[in-house]
Amino acid sequence: RYFVNSEYHSGNGPAFLFIGGEGMLNQYWTNGGAWIEFAKKYKALCFAVEHRFYGKSQPTGDTTIQSLQYLSSKQALADLRYFMQNMNSKHRLNANTKWIAFGGSYAGNLAAWLRLKSPDLVHGAVASSAPVLAKLDFS
pLDDT at 53: 66
Per-residue pLDDT of 32-66, as tens digits, reads 889 999 999 999 999 999 977 676 777 777 777 88
CA 84 – CA 122 distance, rounded (Å): 9
Beta carbons within 10 angstroms of residue 89's beta carbon? 8
Give the structural domain span for 93.
Answer: 2-138
CA 2 – CA 19 distance, rounded (Å): 10
Q: Is the pLDDT of residue 120 over 90?
A: yes
pLDDT at 87: 94
Q: Is the pLDDT of residue 101 over 90?
A: yes
For residue 77, the domain's CATH number is: 3.40.50.1820
pLDDT at 130: 86
Average pLDDT, the chain: 88
Could you please report the per-residue DSSP string of 74-139? HHHHHHHHHHHHHHHHHTT--TTPPEEEEEETHHHHHHHHHHHH-TTTEEEEEEET--SS--GGG-
Per-residue pLDDT of 64-97, as tens digits, reads 788 777 778 899 999 999 999 999 999 999 888 9
CA 116 – CA 8 distance, rounded (Å): 27
Per-residue pLDDT of 14-26, as tens digits, reads 999 999 988 878 7
pLDDT at 36: 96
Could you please report the per-residue DSSP string of 50-73? PPTTBTTB-SSSS--HHHHTT-SH
How many domains in the chain? 1
